[in-house]
């Protein structure tokens, strides 16, 4: 029997409807949330991602403010723009599209964003609040994974979760969300130095792949009936594929997210959710 497909587009649409309601409520108070997107350079994939974010912002009623800098922009120019957006009362959320080109310092730029306007949820202050289980602005992709589980009635309490990948963008914050009090999964993080990743992955009731290696997780790495969340987005000659060998794993798993159409739409939807949350906080 094939696995149940966890449709991220369906869940993202529900989130968008919620965000639109919250934006409308703010508008009645005279507040229109604003999301500033910063794009440095001419990477085609980054341009596609930012366009999708801007379209969704406009769809839910968020004011989209866009800023582009050339590939040869200096660190000072990028930082000056971020500081200007920090001071702009029309801006509630700031997104600097990563990775930045050349020798520009991603971490330094991210750290300069006002934590209260950190639409990506990646500022060190917000990651610290996440560790303390007090976060409001949570990293978008991990937040999207949790919403998919909730939407489809998959309760992690008491389950064994294995996350393959330990990035600060996905793996580490997601491990904190899954292990938090009230969620209560038992979490293992696997990575490039983990001996026999497939054996570790087979222990999972909830298996998350987030490393950027096409087809890394095959059927031999999946416990029968497990929920498999594929965060990977890899561009290949065959098109977009995930970190999970979808066709073979869906015959073993109990539920699985596709690529595309799984976690990807949730990341953008949660960016809007963070922006409206930041706007609500600015209103007290």
Positions marked active-site:
53, 97, 120
- Give the number of other Cβ atoms within 10 Å of residue 21's Cβ: 13
Which string of DSSP letters, residue by residue, matches the chain? Answer: -PPEE--HHHHHHHHHHHHHHHHHHHHHTT---EEEEEEES--HHHHHHHHHHHHHHHHHTPEEEEEEE-TT--HHHHHHHHHHHHT-TT-SEEEE-SSPSTT--HHHHHHHS-GGGBTTS-SHHHHHHHHTT--SS--HHHHHHHHHHHHTT---TT-EEEEE---TTTHHHHHHHHHSTTT--EEEEE-TTSS-HHHHHTT-SEEEE-S--TT-B-GGGS-TT-EEEE---EEETTEEE-SB-HHHHTTT-SEE--SSSSHHHHHHHHHHHHHHHHHHHHT-
How far apart are the C-alpha atoms of 62 and 79, rounded to whole Å? 24
Distance, in Å, from the CA atom of 279 to the CA atom of 34, rounded to the nearest integer, reads 8
Spatial separation of the C-alpha atoms in residues 250 and 232, rounded to whole Å: 16
Phi, psi of 206 (to 5 degrees): -125, 120
């Amino acid at each position: 029997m094939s696995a149940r497909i966890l449709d991220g587009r369906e869940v993202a649409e529900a989130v968008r409807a919620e965000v639109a309601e919250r934006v409308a409520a703010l508008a009645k108070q005279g507040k229109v949330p604003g999301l500033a997107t910063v794009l440095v350079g001419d990477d085609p994939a980054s341009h596609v991602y930012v366009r999708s974010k801007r379209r969704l912002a406009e769809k839910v009623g968020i004011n989209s403010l866009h800023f582009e800098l050339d590939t040869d922009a200096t660190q000072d120019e990028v930082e000056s723009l971020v500081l200007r957006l920090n001071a702009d009362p029309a801006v509630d959320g700031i997104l600097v599209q990563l990775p930045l080109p050349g020798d520009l310092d991603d971490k330094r730029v991210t750290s300069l964003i006002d934590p209260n306007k950190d639409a990506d949820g990646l500022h060190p202050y917000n990651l610290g609040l996440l560790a303390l289980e007090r976060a409001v602005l949570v990293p978008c992709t991990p937040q999207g994974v949790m919403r998919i589980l909730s939407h489809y009635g998959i309760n992690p309490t008491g389950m064994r979760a294995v996350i393959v990948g330990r990035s600060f963008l996905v793996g580490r914050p997601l491990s904190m969300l899954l292990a938090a009090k009230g969620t209560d999964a038992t979490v293992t993080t696997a990575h490039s130095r983990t001996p026999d990743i497939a054996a570790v992955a087979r222990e999972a009731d909830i298996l998350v792949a987030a490393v950027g290696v096409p087809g890394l997780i095959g059927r031999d790495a999946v416990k029968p009936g497990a929920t498999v969340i594929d965060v990977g987005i890899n561009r290949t000659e065959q098109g977009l594929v995930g970190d999970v060998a979808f066709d073979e794993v869906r015959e073993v798993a109990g539920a699985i997210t596709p690529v595309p159409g799984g976690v990807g739409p949730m990341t953008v939807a949660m960016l809007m959710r963070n922006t409206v949350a930041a706007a609500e906080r600015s209103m007290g």
